[in-house]
């Protein structure tokens, strides 16, 4: 017998982290040292998850990411910031 396992598609969060970092820096004129998103996020339209970002000054931000589709297209917004 052959076992079949259903695998769900996951987002390329490393690529997303880089993309978010560039977009945030562009919009805020800031310099960010890191953007971290969870690993193993299932690619699914409408799903949300949070990433964290740290600016060079030490300020941290929470970024809420919403998936527009199952192909890795997302919208994001900063939902929390602390200095």
Answer for the pair 68, 75: CB distance below 8 angstroms, yes or no: yes
The whole-number pLDDT of residue 13 equals: 92
The whole-number pLDDT of residue 12 equals: 92
- Tokens at 60, concatenated: 């941290």
SS3 category, 41: coil
The whole-number pLDDT of residue 81 equals: 84
How many CA atoms within 13 Å lie on the side-chain side of 46?
Answer: 0
The whole-number pLDDT of residue 10 equals: 92
The whole-number pLDDT of residue 7 equals: 63
The ranges of the chain with pLDDT < 70 are 1-7
């Amino acid at each position: 017998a052959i076992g079949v396992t259903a695998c769900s598609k996951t987002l390329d969060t490393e690529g997303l982290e880089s993309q978010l970092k560039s977009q945030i820096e562009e919009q805020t004129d800031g310099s960010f040292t890191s953007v971290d998103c969870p690993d193993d996020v299932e690619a699914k339209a409408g799903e949300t998850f949070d990433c964290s970002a740290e600016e060079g000054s030490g300020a941290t931000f929470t970024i809420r990411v919403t998936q527009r589709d199952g192909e890795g297209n997302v919208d994001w917004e900063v939902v929390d910031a602390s200095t």
